[in-house]
Structure 1
Amino acid sequence: KAELTAQRIAYRLRLIPDTLRKTISFDNGTEFAEHHQLHQSLGIQTFFCDTHSPWQKGGVENTIGRLRRLLPRKTNLDTVSHRKLRAYADRLNNTPRKCLDFLTPAEAFSQISNGALQT
C-alpha cells in the first residue's frame, strides 16, 4: 500500500510546476512509509507532523472534515468508483473558501501556478 501511495502522489506532483512542489507534510500513517521515494524521484523534502498535533496541518484537517461528509471514516475506497472519487475531488476543489478570500481552491491554485510559470 505504501509503495502504491508514493507512486500515485509522485504521479500527481509531476503535474505541478517544480517551483510549487518543494515540500510535503504527512501524518504518521503507514501508507506514507515510502515517502523517501518522493525525495529521490522529485527532490521534494518530506516531513511528518507530530502525533496528536492536528494544528500542524490545519488546512489538511479542514479538508479531511469536508471529505468525511462525503466519505465517512472506514469507508472501503475499493467500493467507490473512480468517477465518484473524481466528482468528490471536483466538488472540494470548486467550493469557495473564506481563507482564500472566497476563491475556490482550483481558482487559487490556477492563480499561483500561472504566476510561478511566468517567473
Structure 2
Amino acid sequence: MELAHTELDLRERRAIEDMLHAKVPVNEIAATIGRHRSTVYREIKRNGFEDDELPELNGYYGVTAQRTADARRARRRKLIRLDDLRAHVIAQLRIGWTPEQIAGRLGFDDQPVRVSHETIYAYVYSAEGQSEQLARHLPRRNSR
C-alpha cells in the first residue's frame, strides 16, 4: 500500500512542541502522532527556532515551525508570489501560447525570473488557475 505524502499540520506541530517540553522521547512522540520517528527528527531540525542573541529561547515551537514551513512552501510558488510574471504568463496563455512556448520565451520577453513549463501547468491546474479558467486556453488540456 502506497502512503500519500502529507505534510505536518499545526495540530501535529503543537503536539510535538508539548511533548518535547514534557521531555517525551522522540520515538514516543512519533508513535503518538502517527508519524515515523525520522519525520519528527527532521521536523525538529528543520523548523526549530534559533536566536543567537537570546539562546535561552532556542527550541521547537509549533506556531513558529508552521510559519517557517509555510514560508518555505511559498518560495516554491513563483507564479503566485510574482505578480508581473503571473500576468505575463496568463496573457500569453490567453493568446494561445503553450506553456512550453511561454517558458522558452521568458528570457527574451524581459522577464527577470524564469519558470519551467511544468510550473506553468501546475499553476493552470491549481486552485488559483482553475478559478481563472486557464485550462481552457491550453491546446490539449487534461480533464481533472
Q: Which structure's CA Rg is the greater one?
A: 2
Q: TM-score normalized by structure 2?
A: 0.19
Q: TM-score normalized by structure 1?
A: 0.22
